[in-house]
Amino acid sequence: MIPIKDNMPTDRFPVVTVALILANVIAYVLAVGHGGSLISGPDAHEMSRHGLTADALTVATVLTSMFLNGSIAQLLGNMLFLWLFGNNVEDSMGPLRFFGFYVVGGLVATALQLAADPHAVVPTVSAAGAVAAVVGGYVMLYPRARVLTLVLILFLFGVVEVPVLLMLGVWLVMQAVFGNGIDAYLGYAGGLVFGGLAIRVLVTKRKATPPTAPAYR
């Protein structure tokens, strides 16, 4: 299943969402340029340099770890879901609030991951915690939204609208595949919960969910 777009319209261009995506892409390219592979991601030196552990807890590593992904697959997956849901969440609260929402969501996820395993030696790197907050906020805001999705089954394919809750399940599976163990998963879960709670305070407008479109191939 490959999500394409949701069925919720926006009133303005998502400046912050696009800027965050560009920041993640640039951070990844710069990191692999100093050591690593475009496909497999930054090497161990770059991961330890920009990643976060309890022994390397600084303002710099907290920020860089939130904008660095461990592989091209993780980068593309996180950025796809950030684009898919970030534009509507940004539209619901405005760009400045959305930026703060994204950063704090990432901080919450990172803090929970470090608390779960304070002696971890593998550096934490991923935008998934912040993206989790965006996903959680969107699901709470528009639980009946639909996502236009390309479905591939053997040699057959079709494009259908699926419930956003199904896309949440896809995102969770993706994090289980690309995450760094149960501690990272707990951090992402914390980001989801934060997003779902914070959206109630920050949202300034909410739209009606459009009717479901007929499936087509």
Among 65-74, 126-135, 155-164, the least confident range: 155-164
In this predicted model, what pLDDT tens digit does every residue of 145-193 receive, in sequence order? 998 888 777 666 778 888 998 888 888 887 777 766 666 777 788 889 9
Lookup: tokens for 70: 């461990």
Higher pLDDT, 153 or 104: 104
Query: In sequence order, what are the residues at sequence separation of 6 or more whose Cβ sits closer than 8 angstroms to the Cβ of residue 114?
Result: 52, 53, 54, 57, 120, 124
**Residue 149 three-state SS:** strand
| Mean pLDDT over each residue of the chain, to the nearest integer | 84
Across residues 205-215, what is the average pLDDT?
A: 70
Burial class of residue 33 (count of CB atoms within 10 Å of its CB; 0-12, 13-18, 19+)? exposed
Fold assignment, 13-145+164-202: Rhomboid-like fold (1.20.1540)
Closest CA relative to residue 151, chosen from 165, 164, 162, 163: 162
- Residue pair 206/141 in contact (Cβ under 8 Å)? The answer is yes
In this predicted model, what pLDDT tens digit does every residue of 7-23 receive, in sequence order? 888 899 999 999 999 99
Q: Using 50, 70 and 90 to split pLDDT, how confident is the model at 217?
A: very low
- Please give the radius of gyration of the chain, using alpha carbons only, rounded to the nearest integer: 17
Distance between CA 23 and CA 34 in Å, rounded? 17
**Quick one: how far is CA 86 from the chain centroid?**
9
pLDDT of 42 reads: 83
Q: What is the pTM of this model?
A: 0.88
Closest CA relative to residue 198, chosen from 109, 70, 73: 109
pLDDT of 154 reads: 64
Higher pLDDT, 124 or 111: 111
Position of tokens 């920009």? Answer: 50
pLDDT of 208 reads: 81
